[in-house]
Amino acid sequence: MKVLRFGPSIIFLRAKDAELVKKAVSEAFGVKELPTDEAIKLSNEFETVVFVTEEWKKETIPPETAFLIGAHAPVVLSEVVNRNLPVEKVHVESTLILLRIPTNVEDGLKLLAEKYGGEIMDIRTAFDEGEAGDTIIGVTTKKLSAPIGPDEISGAVLIRRDFLSVYHELTIDVPVLLLRLMPEWKEITIKIYDTDKRYDENIERLMMVIEDLDLGFVVGEGWDWDYPRPFMRVPVYKLKLLTWEDPVRVKFLLKGIEYVGYKRLCDIDVFLEGKKIHWTALGKYDSKFELAKAAREELERNLSEDVLERLRKIEEVLVAESED
């Protein structure tokens, strides 16, 4: 589970001839100008959003358009210098750190402001008021494995401190902060059994879903034995997941990788406090196949495209092997 990551780097290039520099940036990096909100929304960790403005503009207030470059800021700036782009000045925006808090966002913002000596405000105001040496913590309820737009940041804390010191403290403090904000964490156990013993592929599929959907922290894993019937012992792979999600929802989502169509690829059982969550507790479905179909549709709506593509490739191989 990812609860902390950096946002994009934001750079202002000041030029006498802004249109000439825009054309040069477009050619140098092979990118097109985008509306500012769209560029920020599409950006990911360590990518760079570049604004080109007239030389006389001193404020780090974003103009209406920007360039989104899929490279870290030092690479972008080295290209600007090495290509001798006609830039008069460079301004760097405050460093953005994104923190995911699924609930109690207002309490979370207050806790962050108190802990790090910051000021609570909306994300646009934070960027307007922040300077190059400042740090902004943007709080969102959305998963951090996907791009986060300005409208998906519920609030921000502007801290007049260098981002390295803030980040180092935050990485240590995050578990305690989350526990204070959400004391209702649950530990569930997930067991995988595969009659064809293709555990590597099935464990990979399971981890892909857990990580991409931010279902929780894996706090333990390894081999164990299960007893489906008296005197019958079978090997299972077991992992313990610390989650803020409803365990019933976790069970439902994982049902979507047990089956492909009517083909069962593995058995996945979910336990809460030692008690197995049965498929009949997941809703009114006439069969496991109907349940698996609904779960798969939910997965495909929520998984990122690259993870979904990798998942399908693994499953194609598993289905083909099962038919041999």
Complete DSSP assignment for 196-264: T--HHHHHHHHHHHHHHTT--EEEEEEEEEEEEETTEEEEEEEEEEEESS-HHHHHHHHHHHHEETTEE
Same domain, 84 and 150: no
H/E element, 9: strand 9-15
Domain containing residue 7: 1-93
- Out of 155, 183, 211, a domain closes at 183
Same domain, 215 and 148: no
Distance CA 201, CA 4 (A): 28
Angstrom distances, CA of residue 214 to CA of 117, 124, 165, 274, 303 = 29, 26, 26, 23, 10
Same domain, 204 and 309: yes
The CATH number of the domain where 286 resides is what? 3.30.70
Same domain, 115 and 87: no
Same domain, 228 and 261: yes
Q: Report residue 172: phi and psi, to 5°.
A: -80, -40
Same domain, 135 and 223: no
- Out of 162, 183, 204, a domain closes at 183
Same domain, 31 and 80: yes
pLDDT by residue for the chain (324 residues), tens only, comes to 788 999 999 999 999 999 999 999 999 999 999 999 899 999 999 999 999 998 766 666 788 999 999 999 999 999 999 999 999 999 999 999 999 998 889 999 999 999 999 999 999 899 888 888 899 999 999 888 888 888 999 999 999 999 999 999 999 999 888 888 887 789 999 999 998 889 999 999 999 999 999 898 898 999 988 877 777 788 899 999 999 889 999 999 999 999 988 888 999 999 999 899 999 889 888 898 999 999 999 999 999 899 999 999 999 999 988 765
H/E element, 137: strand 135-140
pTM of the complete model: 0.80
Angstrom distances, CA of residue 238 to CA of 162, 186, 231, 270 = 42, 16, 20, 10
Same domain, 129 and 57: no
Same domain, 202 and 281: yes
Q: Which residues pair with 193 in a beta bridge?
A: 267
Same domain, 306 and 232: yes
Structure tokens at 34: 């985008």
- Out of 159, 183, 207, a domain closes at 183
Same domain, 200 and 140: no
Count the domains in the chain. Answer: 3
Same domain, 192 and 310: yes
